[in-house]
Chains A and B, each alone.
Chain A
Amino acid sequence: MTLRPQADKRLLWFALLALPLLIARWATVHAQSSPEQLTVYSPQTSYSVSLLDLQGRSYIGIVDLLEPLGSVDARPDGKKYKVRFTPPGGRTVEAQFNDDKEKAKVLGETLKLPSNFFLQNGRGYVPLSSAAEIVGKLLAKPVQLHPAARRLFIGETPMRFSLDLDKSNPPKLVISFPAPVNPSIATEPGRVRFTFRREPVVSNGQDSVSFDDPVITGANFAEHDGLAELDVMATEPLVPSFADGGRSIILSALPPPPQVTTVPVPQLQLPAQIMTPQPKPPAGPRFLVLIDPAHGGSDSGATITPSLVEKDVALALARRVQRELTAKGIAAGMLRNSDIAISLDQRAVSVNAARPALYITLHAANTGRGVHVFTSMLPAANLSRQGFLPWDSAQAAFLDLSGVVAGSVAAELETRKLPNTTLVAPLRPMNNIAAPAIAVEIAPPDDKVENIASAEYQEQVAQAIAAGIAAVRSKLPEVRP
Chain B
Amino acid sequence: MTRRILIMFAILAVVAVALGFYALHLKRKVAREEQAATPLAAGVPAGNGPPEPVTLYVANDSDGTLRKTQLSVSLPVERSERARAVLRILMAQYLNSGSPHPVGDKSDVRQVYLMNDGTAIVDTNSAFADAHPSGVLAEELTVASLVATLNANDDKITRVKILVDGQERDTLAGHADLRRFYEAGNIGQVVKDMQ
Interface residues, chain A, CB within 8 Å of chain B? 295, 299, 301-303, 310, 344, 363, 365-369, 372, 374, 377, 379, 392, 421, 423-428, 431, 439, 441, 443
* Residues of chain A with a CB closer than 8 A to B143's CB: 426
The 3 closest A-B pairs by CB, nearest first: A365-B135, A302-B134, A367-B61
**A421 with B64: in contact, given A367-B135, A441-B137 (CB under 8 Å)?**
yes
A sample of 11 more A-B contacts (CB under 8 A), given A372-B136, A427-B176, A441-B135, is: A301-B134, A302-B174, A363-B136, A365-B138, A367-B135, A368-B135, A425-B175, A425-B176, A427-B140, A427-B175, A431-B177
Instruction: Decide yes or no whether B193 CB sits under 8 A from chain A.
Output: yes
* Residues of chain B with a CB closer than 8 A to A303's CB: 134
A368 touching B175, Cβ below 8 Å: no
B177 touching A368, Cβ below 8 Å: no
* Residues of chain A with a CB closer than 8 A to B63's CB: 368-369
B138 touching A367, Cβ below 8 Å: yes
Within 8 Å by CB of B136, from A366, A369, A379, A427, lies A427
B136 touching A377, Cβ below 8 Å: no
Number of interface residues of B (CB under 8 A): 28
**A423 with B186: in contact, given A301-B134, A439-B136 (CB under 8 Å)?**
no
Distance A365 CA – B62 CA, assembled complex (angstroms): 12
Smallest CB-CB separation from B189: which chain A residue?
A424
List, sorted by A's number, 27 A–B pairs whose CB atoms are closer than 8 Å: A301-B174, A310-B134, A344-B170, A363-B135, A363-B136, A365-B136, A367-B61, A367-B137, A368-B64, A368-B138, A369-B62, A369-B63, A379-B186, A392-B180, A421-B64, A423-B137, A423-B190, A423-B194, A425-B175, A426-B176, A426-B177, A428-B170, A428-B177, A431-B177, A439-B136, A441-B137, A443-B137
Within 8 Å by CB of B174, from A295, A368, A423, A425, lies A295
For chain B, residues 136 to 181, give those with C-beta under 8 angstroms from any C-beta of chain A: 136-138, 140, 143, 170-171, 173-177, 179-180
Q: How far is the CB of B34 from chain A (nearest CB, A)?
A: 35
* Residues of chain B with a CB closer than 8 A to A301's CB: 134, 174
**A368 with B137: in contact, given A299-B174, A431-B177 (CB under 8 Å)?**
yes
B174 touching A426, Cβ below 8 Å: no
* Residues of chain A with a CB closer than 8 A to B170's CB: 344, 428
Distance A268 CA – B143 CA, assembled complex (angstroms): 65
**A426 with B140: in contact, given A365-B135, A431-B177 (CB under 8 Å)?**
yes
